[in-house]
Amino acid sequence: MSATPIATTRSSAGMPTGLLAVWWVIASEIVIFGGLLASYIMHRLAHDAWSAHAANTNTWIGAFNTLVLLSSSLAAVLGHKAAEEGDGAKAARQLWYTFAGGATFLVVKGFEWAMEISHGYTISANTFWSFYYTAAGLHATHVLAGIIIMAVVARKAARNVDLHHVELIGVYWHFVDVVWIFLFPLLYIAK
Amino acid sequence: MLEPLFQPFLIDWLVPSASTYADDIDFLWELIFWIVGAWFLATEGIFFWLIIKFAKKRSPKAQYITGELKSQKQYISYPHMAVLVFDILILVFAVKVWYDVKQDLPPAESTVRVIGQQWAWTFQNAGPDGKLDSADDITTMNELHVQLGTVYHYKLEALDVLHNFSVPVFRLKQDAIPGRVITGWFEPTLTGEYDVQCAEICGIGHGLMGARIHIETPEQHAAWMASHAPISLASATPDVSAEE
Amino acid sequence: MAEAVPAGSQDPHGGHGHHEQSFWSKYVFSTDHKMIAMQYMFTGMAMGMIGAFMAYAFRMQLAFPGMEVPLYGLVSPANYNSLVTNHGTIMIFWVAMPVLLAGFGNFLIPLMIGCDDMVFPRINRLSYQIFLLSAIVLLASFFVPGGAFGGAWTAYPPLSSEAQYSLTPMGSSFWVVAVALEFVAFLMGGINFVTTAMNSRAPGMKMYDIPIVVWMIVIASILFMASVGPLIAGAIMLFFDQNLGTAFYDPSRGGDPILWQHLFWFFGHPEVYVVLLPALGVTAEIIPVFARKKFFAYKTVLYTVFATGVLSFTVWAHHQFIAGIDPRMANIFTVTTLLISVPIAEMCFVYIATLWGGSITLSTPMLWALAFVAEFLIGGVTGIFLGASGADIYMHDTYFVLAHFHYTFYPIAIVGTFAGFTFWFPKMFGRMMDDRLGKIHFWGSIIPFNCIFIPLFVLGMAGQHRRIFDFNAYPDLALPWMQHTREFVTIALLVMLAFQLVFFYNVWKSLRKGEKASKNPWKSNTLEWTTESPPGHGNWAELPTVYRGPYEYSVPDREEDYWPQNQPS
Amino acid sequence: MSDAHESHHGNYWKIWAWLCALLVVSVAGPFLEIQAVTLITAFGIAVVKAYLVAVHFMHINVAKRYIVYLASTTLIFMLLFFAAVAPDVMQEDGSNWTKPAWIAEAQTPPTVHGGANPH
């Protein structure tokens, strides 16, 4: 495996390379979710009939999922602090709590969707449900990707290897949480 | 207040202008043509002149010019300002022409419904009583008959995919969107038979979706309306493999 | 899609010796930024040949309707639409972007800012592999039942979202998946470029010591990353419309076709600057070298590029003046479109002003670079006709538009690429190209190019619209002079394609028998000319330090007329 | 850094508590059945929560200035996109178009199934 290039070790922009790259990932993600949510909001304001469709989303499950993600964000930031102090084991444990939070979120989302589909609200039922599944689906895919990377980072952190990666996956995870913070009212509260 | 400053002739030389606003659009196009053409020739001229003047054999030693000093940058900032001024001039006329053609519709003396669908145009003429969707409407396929000197409003819609109702001689072009009935206007000023083209790709038959527009004098138009039953099919659309 | 293996470049042991790599790890699964640059460049050029073949096929149909086109066969309306659609798609996404943005970006950024590789070599390799997969998926769309997608490279729904209208059910989905994969590849590549350029500059290299091509490619990557997002969301929605029966763009079930147009063109216009800026950067590197003169107003160009970048997010609806958007919006977008022509005009003035006081040698790279400026001027100037909403009423979707964007895309994708390729060929392959063959190829490409697109301007003025496969169906367009013009244009295209063989012969000959290239054949200042040709793994034995800007040519009271960036005194 | 250990540590839990409280408020908002209140609790609180996460968890204020400029520029582009596209997508009848008859009845008002939740 070729050694990591010297280029990675430099920081002429005054920031560690990894963190700079993650912020660029977040910038391009803002624009992806921004485009999707802007389209949803426009359609939602244009079609009053959608509030009747939106009435069929389950606010309690949405609220619980929000609580789960917020708590996993807390665990992620505690993990980041532990990593800064060089305590790999503690950081790994916190990351596994975040992993558990993300996994719970996905499981709960799975049940929620199963229930809604059984009620006949499929993705092609009408355009509200199409946006609902597309937006929540894209977000869930990011949650899934996040927990997979988190597992990899946690296993390395347990051996005190690449502790700076803990911060990187933490910042990405907080972004995924912020997207859900906006998705929750848009899909569940606005009735 | 912003009438064409000169009589345009360039596009008119290629495509007759057969509607009241054709001249406005031609004038705007030509105003841009002369401004932009002059700038282009000047810039390209200076460019080639510099290449020849400062070729290696004529100037073996290059000068050291940073281009950061005010005295040097003026050669850039003056043309830069001039480009901005001309842009504003073009902008004023562009917005005026756009407003006249697309936003400020004169009162309609007659209405025609234009329906684009995958690969044919259906025109619903208002018929003698001048009111659309009345009993005496005349619906034709791929053949639009209009009367000279009458202000027409067209109600343009598409049934399946995007189409575009374009009459080059009128300088008229408007996309037809499924789910919207778009209103525009034209007033023919020249008799004759001209092309109508679909200007938005709409599938395999997009190239065959041509139609003809017949601009007739009031007498010819009245005769046409009288002789026509409500539904009539135009002559078969020209077949595809017309040999060279 | 076997990569053409550059036989000439052995891998002289770089600073830190390492085991002799196998063919696979050195050429196919390499993480060396130079090898990945070659992979991108050769895949881009291969796709360029496929795109050119499509142009040949449908131009023959236009010139001789209904004829059996040699090497292709009969061009039916469906074939014509998919050829035109995929010609546009390939030339922008699979030729201009890989060659200019990824090819030159990967090769030049580490070498020009003095570091040994990209910050994330493995992500860099993965981005090429996803790009290659996207190219394969797109080409596969020609062989699926129903044929390739034929709804124009802009893929406006409902034609692109309803299989019943496009009659290419699988072709449409393959097209969307290929374009989405290509976006993923360039998002990963873009992040690599921006982070490397920002963070791994050589010690001593201040902001204004960075060569302009690095600035341009970084800003192009930022423009791409900030604008592609909504279209990725749009592509997901389009894919669901095509396959899951959703109705994002189906008006009868609550969707809106105009939404896709906005999502597409919000990306579309910054995209044309994404491909323009690298070509501008390549030209900005070549002109000072062959004019032996400092680049005029470096800072002004930088601020102009920032202004153009920001403004490019405010102009997109000039593609949709008559496409059903609210007519009042058209006036706002006319203002912003005419406003953006000002910084671009300034950049052209600065490029021309650089020639003042120079000592110009017209070598092949210089000819290409000057031709870029000369041809792009026509492209830029004809944009004003289309940006002004009033004139666009008549001009929209005619051949005038087609000629306009070929006068911007051809200089970018072909002239800019050949300029960069002939200029950096010695550094990439360690051999010099034959200058005489280079000039023959240059004149053989530029003259026919103008013979193709100047007549198309005139056909556009005559009201001939795009994507119509046989103009005999329109009596006003089947006039003899028009048909003869189409034949003349097609013959000019054949001549231009023939001259490309001169280029391939020149490359093939130079790779094998070209004169060995020294470290700095053009006596240029930038850092890539301070290492061997071709640079080994890790680029330098020890990484350079930078002492001055990249354009210190003909500095008074110095006998050498160039002053490399890494020379202390 | 060790003395700030406890406060720094506790700080995160305090932020988390605030986030949970705001969540409860935003869920409770719609029960008052006042449209304006629901909007404020739903989206106003979302913005506050996003700010809390961005500043305290992502340390965006500690990061380099250009990171903030980067994130805010992308947001501004999204607002710009919304502003320019809304007149087209959001209107029932545009300034120069109306909805054709065949679309109106195609969008039959939705039949409300038995709600899956208390509302």
Asked if B227 and B132 sit in the same domain, the reply is yes
Domain tally, chain B: 2
Chain D residues closer than 8 Å to C326 by CB: 87-88, 91, 94-96
Size of the B and D interface in Cβ pairs below 8 Å: 23
Size of the B and C interface in Cβ pairs below 8 Å: 322
State residue B71's pLDDT score. 86
Q: Return the number of other C-beta atoms located less than 10 Å from residue A110's C-beta.
A: 11
Instruction: Flag if C324 and D88 touch (Cβ within 8 Å).
Output: yes
Name which of D95, D96, D103 is nearest B179 (Cβ-Cβ).
Answer: D103
The DSSP string of C312-351 is TTS-GGGG-TTTTS-HHHHHHHHHHHHHHHHHHHHHHHHH
Nearest of A169, A173, A138, A172 to residue A152 by alpha carbon: A169
Percentage of chain A beyond pLDDT 90 is 71
**Residue A23, C-beta contacts closer than 8 angstroms, at least 6 positions apart:** A171, D63, D67, D70, D71
Tell me the residue ranges of DSSP E strands in D43-118: 97-98
CATH number, position B228? 2.60.40.420
State residue C8's pLDDT score. 36
pLDDT higher than 70, residue C382: yes
Interface test with D, best of A28, A29, A32, A56 (most D CBs within 10 A): A56
Residue C541 forms part of a structural domain: no
Mean pLDDT score of chain D, rounded to an integer? 77
Residue A12 forms part of a structural domain: no
The whole-angstrom separation of Cα C24 and Cα A133 is 42
Q: What is the ipTM of this complex?
A: 0.90
Residue C443 forms part of a structural domain: yes
What domain range is C457 assigned to? Answer: 28-530
Chain D residues closer than 8 Å to A13 by CB: 64
Instruction: Flag if C117 and A33 touch (Cβ within 8 Å).
Output: no
The whole-angstrom separation of Cα C451 and Cα C439 is 18
Name which of A2, A27, A127 is nearest C248 (Cβ-Cβ).
Answer: A127
Q: Is the dihedral of CA A159, A164, A167, A169 positive or negative?
A: negative
Q: Is B163 left (phi over 0), alpha (psi -120 to 50) or beta?
A: beta
Is-contact B111 B181, C-beta < 8 A? no
Residue B162 forms part of a structural domain: yes
- What is the longest distance spanned by two Cα atoms in chain C? 76
Lowest-confidence range among C340-344, C506-510, D106-110? D106-110
State residue C17's pLDDT score. 44
Mean pLDDT score of chain C, rounded to an integer? 92
The arithmetic mean of pLDDT across residues D10-39, rounded, is 86
The arithmetic mean of pLDDT across residues B43-62, rounded, is 93
Lowest-confidence range among B110-124, C396-410, D26-40? D26-40
Domain tally, chain A: 1
CATH number, position A145? 1.20.120.80
Instruction: Flag if A31 and C229 touch (Cβ within 8 Å).
Output: yes
Regarding predicted confidence, which is higher, D7 or A147? A147
For A86-132, how does the pLDDT look when each residue is reduced to its tens digit (9 = 90+)? 888 999 999 999 999 999 999 999 999 999 999 999 998 889 999 99
State residue B229's pLDDT score. 58
Q: What is the DSSP letter of C74?
A: E
Residue C13 forms part of a structural domain: no
The whole-angstrom separation of Cα C417 and Cα C47 is 14
Residues 50-89 of D with CB under 8 A from A: 50, 53-54, 56-58, 63-64, 67, 70-71, 74-75, 77-78, 81-82, 85-86, 89
- Alpha-carbon distance C227 to nearest alpha carbon in chain A (angstroms): 7
What domain range is A120 assigned to? Answer: 17-45+58-189
pLDDT higher than 80, residue D84: yes
Instruction: Flag if D88 and C258 touch (Cβ within 8 Å).
Output: yes
Asked if B126 and B161 sit in the same domain, the reply is yes
pLDDT higher than 50, residue B4: yes
Residues 78-117 of D with CB under 8 A from C: 80-81, 84-85, 87-89, 91, 94-97, 102-103, 106-107
C559, closest residue in chain B (CA to CA): B61
Q: Before C534, cis peptide (omega within 30)?
A: yes
Chain B residues closer than 8 Å to C335 by CB: 91
Q: What is the DSSP letter of B203?
A: S
Residue A118 forms part of a structural domain: yes
- Alpha-carbon distance C153 to nearest alpha carbon in chain A (angstroms): 20
What domain range is B91 assigned to? Answer: 10-103
A50, closest residue in chain D (CA to CA): D110
**Residue C264, C-beta contacts closer than 8 angstroms, at least 6 positions apart:** C154, C155, C156, C231, C234
State residue D10's pLDDT score. 66
Helices (H), A15-163: 17-46, 50-54, 59-84, 88-118, 127-158
* Structure confidence at residue B189 as a pLDDT band (50, 70, 90): very high
Q: Where are chain D's structural domains?
A: 1-57, 63-88
Instruction: Identify residues of B whose CB sits under 8 angstroms from chain D CBs.
Output: 102-103, 157, 177, 179-184
Task: List phi, psi (to 5°) of C471.
Answer: -80, 0
CATH number, position C295? 1.20.210.10
Chain A residues closer than 8 Å to C196 by CB: 7
Name which of A43, A49, A178 is nearest D53 (Cβ-Cβ).
Answer: A178
The arithmetic mean of pLDDT across residues C344-351, rounded, is 92
Residue A2 forms part of a structural domain: no
Residue C199 forms part of a structural domain: yes
For C298-310, how does the pLDDT look when each residue is reduced to its tens digit (9 = 90+)? 998 999 999 999 9
Name which of A8, A30, A35 is nearest C119 (Cβ-Cβ).
Answer: A8
For C58-100, how does the pLDDT look when each residue is reduced to its tens digit (9 = 90+)? 999 999 998 999 999 999 999 999 999 999 999 999 999 999 9
Give burial (CB, 10 Å; 0-12/13-18/19+) of B175. Answer: buried
* Structure confidence at residue B230 as a pLDDT band (50, 70, 90): low
CB-based contact (8 Å) between D100 and chain B? Answer: yes
Residue B52 forms part of a structural domain: yes
pLDDT higher than 70, residue B147: yes
Regarding predicted confidence, which is higher, C516 or B237? C516
For C16-40, how does the pLDDT look when each residue is reduced to its tens digit (9 = 90+)? 445 677 888 888 888 899 999 999 9
State residue A3's pLDDT score. 64
Instruction: Flag if D87 and C254 touch (Cβ within 8 Å).
Output: no
C270, closest residue in chain D (CA to CA): D77
Determine which helix (DSSP H) or strand (DSSP E) holds B177, and give its type and residue range: none
Instruction: Flag if C554 and B178 touch (Cβ within 8 Å).
Output: no
* Structure confidence at residue D1 as a pLDDT band (50, 70, 90): very low
Chain C residues closer than 8 Å to D106 by CB: 252-253
Size of the A and C interface in Cβ pairs below 8 Å: 142
Half-sphere exposure of C516 (CA within 13 A, CB side): 4
Domain tally, chain C: 1
Residue A137 forms part of a structural domain: yes
State residue A2's pLDDT score. 47
Residue B238 forms part of a structural domain: no
- Alpha-carbon distance C354 to nearest alpha carbon in chain B (angstroms): 8
* pTM (2 d.p.): 0.92
